Amino acid sequence: MAKNKFNQSWLHDHINDPYVKLAQRHGYRARAAYKLKEIDEQDHLIKPGFVVVDLGAAPGSWSQYVRERLRAEGGEQKGRIVALDVLPFEPIDGVTFIQGDFREDRVVSLLEVELGLRPGERGVDLVLSDMAPNLSGVGAADAARMEHVIELALDFAQMHLKPSGSLLVKAFHGSGYSQIVEVFKRHFVTVLPRKPKASRDKSAETFILGRTLKHVSARE
């Protein structure tokens, strides 16, 4: 009964959500596109010519948005998008998709091969991670799973971002959040918390943006 009430309230919010309507009108596969759009408009994250990795990309609204941004003035796409998810993904023109679990070394290797990068080689301008593991409802276990995928995204960024590159990850406020921010501060010159309007107030979801790697020489 309580579960049903919860579902009804979620459905009510969803149907009346302006971002759901906007996404439908614009042809985005998810309202999540507006979270990335708002952060991009504030922080100028995406530029034509960039190599962008989109982790946890399904159903694909972030990749759709990135693709628009790589096509300056609606022209040819300049740059690359490599998207990855454990779930299947309807193809998007100009987006290379890898299906697999980012926690597996084999899958990270596939991503490196697709990017044409050896381990430790830098060539990515922006790593996005909207990855969210399935929640079990057990707070500590869920926080640990979330932290784990964020750490993996951070390791990947640390290894493959260009010195001037950026990493944007989804996180959840609560246990583990401040430690994640501390780790970001060890790796990035600038660390910014972001809670776009399209991220529901009720949700503990928040985003952390790290910009410009520390301890990396510009020639590396």
Ligand X SMILES: C[S@@+](CC[C@H](N)C(=O)[O-])C[C@H]1O[C@@H](n2cnc3c(N)ncnc32)[C@H](O)[C@@H]1O
Answer yes or no: 170 catalytic. yes
Work out whether 218 is an interface residue with ligand X (CB under 6 A): no
Quickly tell me which residue has 């260009």 as its tokens: 162
The one catalytic residue among 170, 185, 195, 197: 170
Tell me which residues in 172-211 interact with ligand X (CB under 6 A): none
Binding mask 32-51 for ligand X (x = CB under 6 A): xx------------------
Minimum CB separation from ligand X for residue 96, in Å?
Answer: 15
Minimum CB separation from ligand X for residue 218, in Å?
Answer: 31
* Contact region with ligand X (CB under 6 A), list: 43-51, 101-109, 119-127, 209-217: 101-109
Q: In what order do the strands lie in the sheet with 161-172?
A: 95-99, 80-85, 51-55, 124-129, 161-172, 205-213, 188-194
Work out whether 67 is an interface residue with ligand X (CB under 6 A): no
Work out whether 117 is an interface residue with ligand X (CB under 6 A): no
Binding mask 142-171 for ligand X (x = CB under 6 A): -------x----------------------
What is the Cα–Cα distance from 110 to 115, expressed in whole angstroms?
A: 9
Work out whether 133 is an interface residue with ligand X (CB under 6 A): yes
Contact, 95 vs 83, CB < 8 A?
yes
Residue nearest to ligand X (CB): 56
State which of residues 40, 130, 142, 147 lies at the interface with ligand X (CB under 6 A).
Answer: 130
98: its two tokens: 């890898």
Work out whether 132 is an interface residue with ligand X (CB under 6 A): yes
Work out whether 62 is an interface residue with ligand X (CB under 6 A): yes
- Catalytic annotation, residues: 170
Binding region for ligand X (CB under 6 A): 29-30, 32-33, 56-62, 84-87, 101-103, 130-133, 149
